[in-house]
Each structure stands twice: as C-alpha cells, then as structure tokens.
C-alpha cells in the first residue's frame, strides 16, 4: 500500500512534462546535420585532390631526377636549354602550376 503510493508519486515527479514538439529546434538540428554532411564531403574531396596533386608533384620531381641523371654533363652555364627535355618539363610544370592556381569559378588567381 505504502509502496504503491510512493511509486505513484515518483512516477508523477519523474514523468516528462507534456508539451508540443519543438519544430524549430528539429529543423535547426536537421540543417546542422546536412551542413556537417556537406562539409565532410567537401573535406574528403579536398584531401583526395591534395593527394592527387602531391602524387603528380612527386611524379614530376621523379622525372626531373631521372632527366638530370640520364643527361650528359651540362655545359650551358647553369641555364636550361629551352629545346631540351628539361625545358619541356619546366614548361609543363609552369602550366601545371598555372592551371592548379585557378579558383573554382574559372577566374584566374594569377
């Protein structure tokens, strides 16, 4: 008898108050979840692009090392002849830097 009364009082005290759902809060949380998903996708895409660009840079550096080691001794007084393989590589590197420095909307950042 006494236990039932205590149980009823505890149930009444611990019961969640009845109130309408907070639609504004639910919408705000849903927007935050969508924003976080977009940021996560953008972050993954940025890391993927960074990895690809680093792999490209490593490949270009490897080509320059191979060209330097395979070519004859330089007698051009420290300059790269424009019609050599290294000159073509430098031109390719300059074009790559130019293209990768452009912003996403197509306007040049250079």
- Structural contact between residues 66 and 86, judged by C-beta atoms closer than 8 angstroms: no
- Structural contact between residues 63 and 90, judged by C-beta atoms closer than 8 angstroms: no
The per-residue pLDDT for 108 is 47
Provide the whole-model pTM.
Answer: 0.49
The per-residue pLDDT for 109 is 46
pLDDT tens digits for range 57-82: 888 778 777 776 676 655 656 666 66
32 confidence band (pLDDT: 50, 70, 90): very high
Tokens of 61: 């550096």
* DSSP symbols for the chain: -HHHHHHHHHHHHHSPPP----HHHHHHHHHHHHHHHHHHHHHHHHHHHHHHHHHHHHHHHHHHHHHHHHSPPP-STT---TTSHHHHHHHHHHHHHHHHTS-TTS----
């Amino acid at each position: 008898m006494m236990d039932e009364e205590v149980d009823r009082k505890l149930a009444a005290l611990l019961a969640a108050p009845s109130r309408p759902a907070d639609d504004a809060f639910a919408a705000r949380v849903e927007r935050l979840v969508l924003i976080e998903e977009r940021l996560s996708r953008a972050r993954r895409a940025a890391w993927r692009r960074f990895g690809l660009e680093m792999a490209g840079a490593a490949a270009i550096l490897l080509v320059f090392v191979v060209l330097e080691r395979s070519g004859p001794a330089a007698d051009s007084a420290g300059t790269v002849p424009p019609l050599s393989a290294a000159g073509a590589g430098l031109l390719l590197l300059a074009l790559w830097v130019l293209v990768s420095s452009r912003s996403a909307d197509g306007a040049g950042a250079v």
